[in-house]
């Protein structure tokens, strides 16, 4: 992935899990990374850790923001573009869950998840689009979930938000294609994060039995796919929804 060197990459939800690994992996490929999260302590740790292996002229910056704060996000993107003259890649990874069955779900649970996952992705896509249109190039990679395709008990809000991201991706890919901008979406299945570590053994076994490869994925699996989609190797790929789930969701 030598063509990622010195590319300017914005990653949201970058403080832990998949987002943290995305930051580490893109940095390893010598990209300049700009991390957005609400968790300053974790962002500081990531920056401190990566800074030790920083290449000459390589940049790592972080910004504290909720992705639903449209004015703040616009200012952050404007600052990055102004200082570094381009935004080459945006990875919309930030997201939350707030589970409950629909019959007893509070309105706040529904709106919070939709607002962060779907509206937050929209806000970041809109903020970056004007810069990518101006430079006539760019890669937008949205992180959805297989739950957006298959649903899950107690996660109607999460499933709706993630399905919406797929629709947003496909529409935006058509709108931006003439400006040489690729827009794709990655749908992770069960990935080893703190959430899967906290699952009871019986629950883990139940999920594993549904996965043909009989294992959970690693965060690096998602990062490797994101790096491919961000690189020149994917220049003829746009509007695609790609599952990375060990075969859990197979299309007939």
The yes-or-no answer on residue 62 being catalytic is no
Give the whole-angstrom CA distance, residue 96 versus residue 108. 13
CA distances from 224 to 120, 206, 213 (A): 24, 27, 18
Region for 69 from its dihedrals, namely left if φ exceeds 0, alpha if ψ lies in -120 to 50, beta otherwise: beta
Round to whole Å and give the CA distance between 210 and 194.
Answer: 20
Of 167, 150, 169, 161, the closest CA to residue 207 belongs to 150
How far is residue 132's CA from residue 145's CA, in Å, rounded to a whole number?
25
Q: Does residue 161 contact residue 117 with C-beta atoms inside 8 Å?
A: yes
Buried/exposed code over 191-203 (b: 16+ C-beta within 10 A; e: otherwise)? bebeeeeeeeeee
Confirm if 18 and 188 have CB atoms less than 8 A apart.
yes
Annotated catalytic residue: which of 62, 131, 158, 190? Answer: 158
DSSP letters along 2-27, please? GGGTT-EEEEESTTSHHHHHHHHHHH
H-type alpha helices, 117-251 = 120-135, 147-150, 156-176, 194-197, 201-208, 219-230
* Active site members: 158
């Amino acid at each position: 992935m030598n063509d990622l060197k010195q590319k300017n990459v914005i990653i949201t939800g970058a403080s832990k899990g998949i987002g943290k690994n995305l930051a580490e992996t893109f940095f390893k490929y010598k990209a300049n990374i700009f991390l957005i999260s609400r968790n300053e302590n974790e962002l500081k740790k990531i920056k401190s850790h990566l800074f030790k292996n920083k290449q000459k002229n390589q940049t790592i910056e972080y910004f504290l923001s909720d992705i639903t704060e449209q004015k703040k996000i616009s200012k952050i993107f404007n600052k990055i573009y102004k200082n570094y003259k381009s935004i080459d890649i945006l990875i919309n990874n930030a997201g939350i869950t707030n589970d409950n069955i629909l019959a007893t779900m509070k309105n706040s649970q529904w709106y919070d998840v939709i607002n962060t996952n779907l509206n937050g992705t929209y806000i970041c896509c809109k903020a970056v689009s004007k810069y990518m249109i101006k430079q006539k190039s760019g890669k937008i990679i949205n992180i959805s979930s297989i739950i957006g395709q298959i649903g899950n008990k107690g996660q109607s809000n999460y499933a709706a938000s993630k399905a919406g991201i797929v629709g947003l991706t496909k529409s935006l890919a058509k709108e931006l294609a003439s400006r040489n901008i690729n827009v794709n979406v990655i749908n992770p299945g069960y990935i080893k994060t703190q959430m899967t570590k906290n699952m009871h053994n019986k629950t883990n076994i139940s999920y594993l039995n549904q996965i043909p490869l009989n294992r959970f994925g690693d965060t690096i699996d998602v990062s490797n796919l994101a790096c491919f989609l961000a690189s020149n190797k994917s220049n003829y790929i746009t509007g695609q929804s790609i599952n990375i789930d060990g075969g859990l969701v197979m299309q007939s």
